[in-house]
Amino acid sequence: MIFDIITIFPGLFENVFNDSILGSAQKSGLINVQIRHFRDFGEGRHKTVDDSPFGGGPGMVLKPGPLVSCIREIRKDGPIGPVIGLSPQGIPLRQTVVEELSRFDRLVLVCGRYEGFDERILPEFDLEISIGDYVLTGGEFAAMILVDSISRMIPGVVGKIDSVEQDSFFGGLLDYPHYTRPYEWENQRVPQVLMEGNHEKIRKWRRGKAILRTAIRRPDIFAKTSTSQIDRDLFQSVLGED
Ligand code: SAM
Protein backbone atom coordinates (compact mmCIF):
# COMPACT_ATOMS: atom_id res chain seq x y z
CA MET A 1 0.00 0.00 0.00
CA ILE A 2 1.35 3.40 -0.96
CA PHE A 3 0.30 6.38 1.14
CA ASP A 4 0.94 9.81 -0.37
CA ILE A 5 0.59 12.45 2.33
CA ILE A 6 0.23 16.01 1.12
CA THR A 7 1.30 18.56 3.75
CA ILE A 8 3.04 21.89 4.30
CA PHE A 9 4.75 20.47 7.39
CA PRO A 10 6.73 17.44 6.16
CA GLY A 11 8.98 17.65 9.24
CA LEU A 12 6.09 16.46 11.42
CA PHE A 13 6.36 13.02 9.82
CA GLU A 14 10.07 12.54 10.50
CA ASN A 15 10.54 9.23 12.33
CA VAL A 16 6.81 8.73 12.91
CA PHE A 17 6.68 5.64 10.70
CA ASN A 18 10.25 4.42 11.16
CA ASP A 19 9.94 2.28 14.30
CA SER A 20 8.05 -0.73 15.54
CA ILE A 21 5.38 -2.39 13.39
CA LEU A 22 5.10 0.35 10.76
CA GLY A 23 8.90 0.61 10.53
CA SER A 24 9.11 -3.12 9.76
CA ALA A 25 6.21 -2.84 7.31
CA GLN A 26 8.08 -0.09 5.45
CA LYS A 27 11.33 -2.06 5.43
CA SER A 28 9.60 -5.15 4.05
CA GLY A 29 7.77 -3.08 1.41
CA LEU A 30 4.26 -3.81 2.71
CA ILE A 31 3.69 -0.08 3.06
CA ASN A 32 5.40 2.91 1.51
CA VAL A 33 4.74 6.36 2.97
CA GLN A 34 5.59 9.24 0.64
CA ILE A 35 5.48 12.75 2.04
CA ARG A 36 4.60 15.45 -0.50
CA HIS A 37 5.44 19.02 0.40
CA PHE A 38 2.82 21.05 -1.40
CA ARG A 39 4.60 24.33 -0.74
CA ASP A 40 6.73 23.20 -3.71
CA PHE A 41 3.64 24.16 -5.75
CA GLY A 42 3.20 27.48 -3.92
CA GLU A 43 2.76 30.75 -5.76
CA GLY A 44 5.37 33.45 -6.31
CA ARG A 45 8.76 34.04 -4.77
CA HIS A 46 7.52 33.07 -1.30
CA LYS A 47 5.80 29.87 -2.51
CA THR A 48 2.54 31.09 -0.97
CA VAL A 49 -0.09 28.42 -0.26
CA ASP A 50 -2.63 30.38 1.83
CA ASP A 51 -4.41 33.71 1.86
CA SER A 52 -6.96 35.65 3.91
CA PRO A 53 -10.64 34.74 3.53
CA PHE A 54 -12.94 36.63 1.18
CA GLY A 55 -15.67 38.26 3.26
CA GLY A 56 -13.30 38.84 6.16
CA GLY A 57 -12.90 36.88 9.35
CA PRO A 58 -10.02 35.32 11.24
CA GLY A 59 -7.32 32.99 9.99
CA MET A 60 -5.99 31.99 6.61
CA VAL A 61 -7.43 29.66 3.98
CA LEU A 62 -5.49 27.18 1.81
CA LYS A 63 -5.47 28.44 -1.77
CA PRO A 64 -6.84 26.04 -4.39
CA GLY A 65 -3.99 26.31 -6.93
CA PRO A 66 -0.97 24.84 -5.08
CA LEU A 67 -2.85 22.00 -3.40
CA VAL A 68 -4.71 20.90 -6.52
CA SER A 69 -1.51 21.12 -8.62
CA CYS A 70 0.15 18.77 -6.12
CA ILE A 71 -2.75 16.28 -6.31
CA ARG A 72 -2.75 16.42 -10.12
CA GLU A 73 1.00 15.80 -10.20
CA ILE A 74 0.42 12.58 -8.23
CA ARG A 75 -2.45 11.61 -10.57
CA LYS A 76 0.07 11.56 -13.44
CA ASP A 77 1.43 8.31 -11.89
CA GLY A 78 -1.78 6.55 -13.05
CA PRO A 79 -4.58 5.12 -10.86
CA ILE A 80 -4.01 6.32 -7.31
CA GLY A 81 -7.08 5.19 -5.36
CA PRO A 82 -9.16 7.63 -3.37
CA VAL A 83 -7.92 11.13 -2.64
CA ILE A 84 -8.96 11.80 0.96
CA GLY A 85 -9.24 15.26 2.48
CA LEU A 86 -8.77 15.30 6.25
CA SER A 87 -11.48 17.46 7.75
CA PRO A 88 -13.53 17.67 10.96
CA GLN A 89 -16.51 17.89 8.60
CA GLY A 90 -15.76 14.54 6.92
CA ILE A 91 -17.33 11.15 7.55
CA PRO A 92 -16.37 9.82 10.98
CA LEU A 93 -13.49 7.32 10.93
CA ARG A 94 -14.64 3.90 12.11
CA GLN A 95 -13.13 0.43 11.93
CA THR A 96 -15.45 -0.43 9.01
CA VAL A 97 -14.10 2.59 7.07
CA VAL A 98 -10.52 1.55 7.94
CA GLU A 99 -11.18 -1.96 6.59
CA GLU A 100 -12.69 -0.61 3.35
CA LEU A 101 -9.73 1.69 2.78
CA SER A 102 -7.19 -1.08 3.45
CA ARG A 103 -8.37 -2.80 0.23
CA PHE A 104 -6.85 -0.11 -2.00
CA ASP A 105 -3.26 -0.23 -3.29
CA ARG A 106 -2.74 3.49 -2.88
CA LEU A 107 -4.31 6.35 -0.93
CA VAL A 108 -3.66 10.07 -1.09
CA LEU A 109 -4.18 11.88 2.22
CA VAL A 110 -4.46 15.67 2.11
CA CYS A 111 -3.70 17.61 5.29
CA GLY A 112 -5.41 20.93 5.82
CA ARG A 113 -4.12 23.77 8.01
CA TYR A 114 -5.34 27.15 9.27
CA GLU A 115 -9.07 27.64 8.59
CA GLY A 116 -8.98 24.72 6.16
CA PHE A 117 -9.41 24.27 2.40
CA ASP A 118 -10.78 26.77 -0.09
CA GLU A 119 -14.16 25.21 -0.92
CA ARG A 120 -13.15 24.85 -4.60
CA ILE A 121 -10.56 22.23 -3.66
CA LEU A 122 -13.26 19.82 -2.47
CA PRO A 123 -14.21 18.43 -5.92
CA GLU A 124 -10.65 17.06 -6.08
CA PHE A 125 -11.39 14.79 -3.08
CA ASP A 126 -13.14 11.43 -3.37
CA LEU A 127 -14.10 11.67 0.27
CA GLU A 128 -13.39 13.63 3.42
CA ILE A 129 -12.64 11.88 6.71
CA SER A 130 -12.83 13.17 10.26
CA ILE A 131 -11.06 11.37 13.10
CA GLY A 132 -13.53 12.71 15.66
CA ASP A 133 -15.76 15.54 16.73
CA TYR A 134 -13.02 17.92 17.79
CA VAL A 135 -10.71 20.25 15.89
CA LEU A 136 -6.97 19.71 15.41
CA THR A 137 -4.44 22.32 14.34
CA GLY A 138 -3.82 20.37 11.14
CA GLY A 139 -4.61 17.22 9.19
CA GLU A 140 -1.14 15.71 9.77
CA PHE A 141 -2.16 14.00 13.02
CA ALA A 142 -5.30 12.67 11.38
CA ALA A 143 -3.21 11.36 8.46
CA MET A 144 -0.91 9.53 10.91
CA ILE A 145 -3.93 7.88 12.49
CA LEU A 146 -5.22 6.78 9.10
CA VAL A 147 -1.84 5.33 8.06
CA ASP A 148 -1.51 3.47 11.36
CA SER A 149 -5.04 2.06 11.50
CA ILE A 150 -5.13 1.08 7.81
CA SER A 151 -1.63 -0.44 7.78
CA ARG A 152 -2.41 -2.89 10.57
CA MET A 153 -5.23 -4.31 8.41
CA ILE A 154 -2.81 -5.19 5.60
CA PRO A 155 -1.92 -8.89 5.75
CA GLY A 156 1.59 -9.39 7.10
CA VAL A 157 1.91 -6.02 8.85
CA VAL A 158 0.79 -7.36 12.24
CA GLY A 159 2.45 -10.73 12.81
CA LYS A 160 -0.62 -12.60 14.06
CA ILE A 161 -3.85 -11.85 12.21
CA ASP A 162 -5.77 -13.31 15.22
CA SER A 163 -4.68 -10.37 17.33
CA VAL A 164 -6.17 -7.95 14.78
CA GLU A 165 -9.39 -9.92 14.54
CA GLN A 166 -9.83 -9.99 18.32
CA ASP A 167 -9.28 -6.28 18.73
CA SER A 168 -12.06 -3.91 19.64
CA PHE A 169 -14.55 -3.07 16.85
CA PHE A 170 -13.27 -5.70 14.40
CA GLY A 171 -16.05 -8.16 15.14
CA GLY A 172 -18.37 -5.41 16.37
CA LEU A 173 -17.53 -5.77 20.09
CA LEU A 174 -14.88 -4.29 22.38
CA ASP A 175 -11.90 -6.52 23.17
CA TYR A 176 -11.94 -8.82 26.23
CA PRO A 177 -9.73 -8.07 29.30
CA HIS A 178 -6.06 -9.11 29.16
CA TYR A 179 -3.70 -10.22 31.95
CA THR A 180 -0.03 -11.18 32.17
CA ARG A 181 2.46 -12.07 34.94
CA PRO A 182 2.53 -11.73 37.88
CA TYR A 183 -0.49 -13.81 38.89
CA GLU A 184 -1.10 -11.56 41.88
CA TRP A 185 -0.31 -7.84 41.87
CA GLU A 186 -1.36 -5.30 44.53
CA ASN A 187 -3.93 -7.73 45.90
CA GLN A 188 -5.49 -8.28 42.48
CA ARG A 189 -5.48 -11.79 41.08
CA VAL A 190 -5.83 -13.00 37.52
CA PRO A 191 -9.28 -14.61 37.01
CA GLN A 192 -9.07 -18.32 37.82
CA VAL A 193 -10.49 -19.43 34.47
CA LEU A 194 -7.37 -18.10 32.68
CA MET A 195 -5.10 -20.21 34.90
CA GLU A 196 -6.78 -23.56 34.28
CA GLY A 197 -5.77 -24.15 30.66
CA ASN A 198 -9.25 -25.11 29.44
CA HIS A 199 -9.29 -23.34 26.07
CA GLU A 200 -13.01 -23.72 25.42
CA LYS A 201 -13.84 -22.30 28.86
CA ILE A 202 -11.39 -19.44 28.27
CA ARG A 203 -12.91 -18.69 24.84
CA LYS A 204 -16.41 -18.55 26.32
CA TRP A 205 -15.32 -16.40 29.28
CA ARG A 206 -13.60 -13.94 26.95
CA ARG A 207 -16.62 -13.73 24.66
CA GLY A 208 -18.88 -13.13 27.68
CA LYS A 209 -16.57 -10.40 28.98
CA ALA A 210 -16.35 -8.75 25.55
CA ILE A 211 -20.16 -8.65 25.36
CA LEU A 212 -20.47 -7.35 28.93
CA ARG A 213 -17.95 -4.54 28.58
CA THR A 214 -19.40 -3.48 25.22
CA ALA A 215 -22.85 -3.28 26.83
CA ILE A 216 -21.50 -1.22 29.74
CA ARG A 217 -18.96 1.01 28.00
CA ARG A 218 -20.49 1.41 24.56
CA PRO A 219 -24.25 0.85 24.69
CA ASP A 220 -24.48 2.60 21.29
CA ILE A 221 -22.42 -0.18 19.67
CA PHE A 222 -24.06 -2.90 21.73
CA ALA A 223 -27.51 -1.82 20.54
CA LYS A 224 -26.42 -2.53 16.94
CA THR A 225 -24.76 -5.90 17.68
CA SER A 226 -26.79 -9.02 16.99
CA THR A 227 -26.33 -11.48 19.84
CA SER A 228 -27.40 -15.12 19.87
CA GLN A 229 -28.93 -17.09 22.78
CA ILE A 230 -25.41 -18.52 23.36
CA ASP A 231 -24.06 -14.97 23.64
CA ARG A 232 -26.79 -14.05 26.09
CA ASP A 233 -25.92 -17.13 28.21
CA LEU A 234 -22.21 -16.18 28.18
CA PHE A 235 -23.15 -12.64 29.15
CA GLN A 236 -25.18 -13.97 32.10
CA SER A 237 -22.31 -16.24 33.18
CA VAL A 238 -19.81 -13.37 33.58
CA LEU A 239 -22.29 -10.88 35.10
CA GLY A 240 -21.40 -10.11 38.68
CA GLU A 241 -17.74 -11.28 38.36
CA ASP A 242 -14.85 -9.03 39.50
N1 SAM B 1 -12.27 25.64 10.07
C2 SAM B 1 -12.29 24.20 10.02
C3 SAM B 1 -13.65 23.71 10.53
O4 SAM B 1 -14.09 24.23 11.56
O5 SAM B 1 -14.22 22.78 9.93
C6 SAM B 1 -11.22 23.59 10.87
C7 SAM B 1 -9.84 23.78 10.34
S8 SAM B 1 -8.63 22.97 11.31
C9 SAM B 1 -8.11 24.21 12.42
C10 SAM B 1 -7.26 22.80 10.20
C11 SAM B 1 -7.15 21.45 9.53
O12 SAM B 1 -6.95 20.42 10.51
C13 SAM B 1 -8.32 20.98 8.74
O14 SAM B 1 -8.35 21.54 7.44
C15 SAM B 1 -8.13 19.49 8.70
O16 SAM B 1 -7.26 19.09 7.66
C17 SAM B 1 -7.47 19.21 10.03
N18 SAM B 1 -8.41 18.69 11.04
C19 SAM B 1 -8.86 19.35 12.13
N20 SAM B 1 -9.68 18.60 12.86
C21 SAM B 1 -9.78 17.42 12.21
C22 SAM B 1 -10.50 16.22 12.46
N23 SAM B 1 -11.30 16.10 13.52
N24 SAM B 1 -10.38 15.19 11.60
C25 SAM B 1 -9.58 15.31 10.51
N26 SAM B 1 -8.87 16.42 10.21
C27 SAM B 1 -8.96 17.46 11.05
The whole model's pTM is what? 0.94
Q: Specify the higher pLDDT residue, 105 or 232.
A: 105
Cβ(134) to ligand 1 under 6 A? yes
Nearest-angstrom CA–CA distance, 85 and 108: 8
CA 132 to ligand 1: nearest atom: 23
What the chain holds in terms of domains, given with CATH numbers, is 2-151 (3.40.1280.10), 171-238 (1.10.1270.20)
Mean pLDDT of 193-214: 96
Q: How far, in Å, is the centroid of ligand 1 from the Cα of 18?
A: 26
Minimal-distance CA residue to ligand 1 atom 24: 130
Q: Which residues contact 75 (CB under 8 A, 6 or more apart)?
A: none
d(CA 175, CA 167): 5
Mean pLDDT over 25-38 rounds to 97
Task: Indicate which residue's Cα is closest to atom 9 of ligand 1.
Answer: 137
Catalytic machinery residues = 88, 115, 152, 167
d(C-alpha 97, C-alpha 183), whole Å:
38
Residue 88: CB within 6 Å of ligand 1?
yes
Banded model confidence at residue 37, pLDDT cuts 50, 70, 90:
very high
Beta carbons within 8 Å of 227's beta carbon, 6+ residues apart: 211, 235
Separation of 70 CA from ligand 1 center, angstroms? 20
3-class secondary structure per residue, 12-68: HHCCCCCCHHHHHHHHCCCCEEEEEEHHHHCECCCCECEECCCCCCCCCEECHHHHH
pLDDT at 242: 67
Q: Is 59 in the pocket of ligand 1 (CB under 6 A)?
A: no
Angle between helices 199-217 and 229-238 (to 10 degrees): 90
pLDDT score for 117: 98
* Percentage of residues in the chain having pLDDT higher than 70: 100
> 89 CB less than 6 Å from ligand 1?
yes
Ligand 1 atom 12: residue of nearest CA: 138
Q: CB within 8 A of 58, min separation 6: which ones? A: 115
Average of pLDDT values for 99-112?
98
Antiparallel, parallel or unpaired: β 106-110 and 83-92: parallel
* N-to-C CA span, the chain: 43
| Whole-number Å distance between alpha carbons of 213 and 192 | 19
The predicted pLDDT at position 240 comes to 81
Which pLDDT belongs to residue 162?
Answer: 81
For residues 154 and 1, is the Cβ–Cβ distance under 8 A? yes
